[in-house]
């Protein structure tokens, strides 16, 4: 019979300060700016654009028709037009990061600050592994900038439906203009800046929890990175009766369990996370990216057949293994608007196991005179079979 008691100790790291990496994407949160875990700015040097670059608008180019008749493209069947993506980019102008538009076939970021300019040195907004949930939220002068609006620096990324031949014109919201900010967009074809009263601002929806289903633990590539011998306890068994009998007792012992599933790509640290095996067995509930430790109390039954007037001294030993196990998992992200997103991740699970638990006979004697002379009959110590192969699963199901 094995009983387990777990005392969980969590170590939470508070990140203080306002120092951000150069390629960090900042979001408005109340009166501050926070760093996105799923977005980043990527410098483009060869004109290539990643598959997970953020699209801000679409351009429609007619095929075999009058290319100047762009107004009709918004009214007629678009099957006769070619669709080009317009990505969100940013470039430095007079020392300020300014958001703009990057046409997929032209390696130039078109921005506006006082006037329209074409920038050859720029960065593209990347949604890493498509992990972020992004929406274009309606904005107007009277409602201000919403929480988790995405900034390019001083200005927030926005667009407006004023385009001919495009779904939107790309632009920016300047939070320092007016009471709630000012939205201006660039008409790339006319090379002019238009100030508008309403449009849409790019916002990241905040995740509230993860559910991780482990689809594969690659035990063939498992690495034991440390082994620590443990003395778990000791006990004396004695038979004071005048005939042979079975004597049994229990050794209670403790060992320290630790577990870390890694940080993963584009995942928010400290987010509440529930981990399952593929058969929906509840593994553990953690805060993502934060290692935790627990003290496990186990009980081991010890039995021995003893001759009359004899005793034995038994110690219980084991080995604490620190193991790295690669895993694949299906990640379900739940957002605060009740929507969900699925993707596949992989990582390395670092954890400890106490295994090879076994009793060791250290001595036997006659009780009457404390002799340590060998007994005439071998003392047989029996213990329950340890299900070492299922040890991990036993731990998890008892969390």
Q: What is the pLDDT of residues 137-184, one digit of tens each?
A: 999 988 889 999 999 999 999 999 876 788 999 999 999 888 888 999
Alpha-carbon gap, residue 174 to 180, rounded angstroms: 9
| Mean of the per-residue pLDDT values of the chain | 82
172: buried, middle or exposed (CB in 10 Å: 19+, 13-18, 0-12)?
buried
- In this structure, what DSSP letter does residue 106 have? S
Per-residue pLDDT, 399: 26
Tokens of 35: 């760093």
Alpha-carbon gap, residue 256 to 246, rounded angstroms: 33
Higher pLDDT, 386 or 235: 235
Alpha-carbon gap, residue 242 to 259, rounded angstroms: 51
Per-residue pLDDT, 3: 40
- In this structure, what DSSP letter does residue 21 have? -
pLDDT interval class at 373 (50, 70, 90): very low
Angle 345-355-393 (CA atoms, 0-180°, nearest 5)? 45
Over its C-alpha atoms, the chain yields an Rg (Å, rounded) of 33
pLDDT interval class at 77 (50, 70, 90): low
Tokens of 234: 């000791």
Alpha-carbon gap, residue 87 to 100, rounded angstroms: 8
Per-residue pLDDT, 30: 84
Cα–chain center distance at 310: 58
Alpha-carbon gap, residue 160 to 202, rounded angstroms: 11
User: How many residues comprise the chain?
Assistant: 399
pLDDT interval class at 366 (50, 70, 90): confident
Predicted TM-score of the model (pTM): 0.75
Alpha-carbon gap, residue 68 to 78, rounded angstroms: 15
The closest of 303, 322, 299 to 229, measured between CA atoms, is 322
User: What mean pLDDT do residues 213-218 have?
Assistant: 93
pLDDT interval class at 57 (50, 70, 90): very high
Tokens of 166: 């495009």
Sequence-ordered list of residues with C-beta below 8 angstroms from that of 32, at least 6 positions apart, any chain: none
Query: How far apart, in Å, are the Cα atoms of 350 and each of 83, 190, 244?
Result: 47, 58, 48
Tokens of 341: 């997103």
User: What mean pLDDT do residues 237-266 have?
Assistant: 92
What SS3 state is found at 156? strand
Alpha-carbon gap, residue 215 to 220, rounded angstroms: 15
The closest of 129, 87, 128 to 108, measured between CA atoms, is 87
Lowest mean pLDDT among 88-97, 231-240, 277-286, 380-389: 380-389
DSSP for 78-113, written as a single string: GGGEEEEEEEEEEEEETTEEEEEEEETTS--EEEEE
pLDDT for 383 beyond 50: no
| Residue pLDDT, tens place only, 175-208 | 988 888 899 999 877 778 888 999 999 999 999 9
Per-residue pLDDT, 228: 95
User: Phi first, then psi: what are they for 272, rounded to 5°?
Assistant: -55, 130
Alpha-carbon gap, residue 298 to 4, rounded angstroms: 5
Beta bridge partners of 377: none
Per-residue pLDDT, 390: 23
Sequence-ordered list of residues with C-beta below 8 angstroms from that of 30, at least 6 positions apart, any chain: 147
What SS3 state is found at 73? helix
CATH number of 208-397: 2.170.15.10
Per-residue pLDDT, 290: 94
Q: Provide, rounded to the nearest whole percent, the portion of the chain with pLDDT above 70.
A: 81
Domain boundaries, the chain: 21-205, 208-397
Cβ atoms 173, 196 nearer than 8 A? no
What SS3 state is found at 72? helix
Cβ atoms 288, 271 nearer than 8 A? yes
Alpha-carbon gap, residue 252 to 200, rounded angstroms: 64
| Residue pLDDT, tens place only, 261-319 | 999 899 999 999 999 987 777 678 999 999 989 999 999 999 888 888 888 899 999 99
Per-residue pLDDT, 99: 97
pLDDT for 12 beyond 90: no
Alpha-carbon gap, residue 246 to 304, rounded angstroms: 6
147: buried, middle or exposed (CB in 10 Å: 19+, 13-18, 0-12)?
middle
Per-residue pLDDT, 369: 59
pLDDT for 393 beyond 70: no
């Amino acid at each position: 019979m094995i009983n387990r008691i777990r005392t969980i100790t969590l170590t939470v790291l508070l990140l203080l300060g306002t120092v951000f990496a150069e390629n960090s994407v900042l979001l408005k949160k109340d009166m501050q700016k926070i760093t996105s875990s799923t977005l980043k700015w990527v410098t483009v040097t060869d004109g290539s654009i990643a598959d997970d670059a953020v699209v801000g608008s679409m351009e429609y180019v007619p095929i075999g028709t009058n290319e100047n008749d762009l107004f009709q493209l918004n009214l007629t069947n678009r099957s006769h037009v070619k669709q080009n993506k317009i990505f969100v980019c940013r470039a430095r102008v007079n020392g300020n990061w300014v958001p703009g538009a990057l046409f997929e076939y032209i390696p130039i970021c078109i921005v506006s600050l006082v006037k329209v300019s074409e920038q050859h040195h720029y960065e593209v907004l990347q949604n890493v592994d498509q992990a972020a949930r992004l929406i274009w939220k309606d904005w107007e002068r009277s409602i201000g900038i919403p929480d988790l609006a995405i900034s390019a620096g001083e200005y927030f990324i926005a667009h407006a439906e004023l385009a001919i031949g495009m779904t939107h014109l790309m632009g920016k919201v300047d939070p320092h203009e007016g009471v709630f900010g000012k939205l201006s967009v660039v008409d790339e074809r006319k090379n002019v800046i238009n100030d508008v009263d309403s449009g849409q601002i790019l916002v990241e929806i905040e995740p509230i929890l993860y559910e991780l289903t482990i689809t594969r633990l690659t035990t063939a590539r498992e690495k034991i990175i440390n082994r620590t011998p443990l003395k778990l306890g000791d006990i004396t068994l004695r038979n004071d009766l005048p005939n042979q009998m079975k004597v049994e007792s229990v050794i209670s012992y403790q060992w320290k369990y630790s577990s870390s599933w890694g940080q993963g790509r584009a995942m928010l640290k400290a987010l509440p996370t529930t981990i399952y095996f593929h058969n929906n067995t509840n593994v553990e509930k953690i805060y993502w990216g934060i290692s935790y430790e627990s003290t496990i109390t186990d009980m081991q039954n010890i039995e021995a057949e003893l001759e009359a007037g004899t005793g034995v001294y038994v110690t219980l030993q084991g080995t604490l293994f620190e193991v790295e196990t690669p895993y694949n998992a299906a990640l379900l992200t739940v957002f605060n608007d009740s929507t969900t997103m699925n993707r596949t991740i992989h990582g390395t699970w670092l954890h400890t196991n106490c295994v090879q638990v076994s009793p060791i006979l250290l001595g036997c004697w006659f009780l009457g005179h404390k002799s340590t002379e060998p007994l005439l009959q071998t003392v047989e110590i029996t213990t329950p079979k340890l299900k070492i192969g299922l040890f991990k699963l036993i731990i998890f199901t008892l969390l």
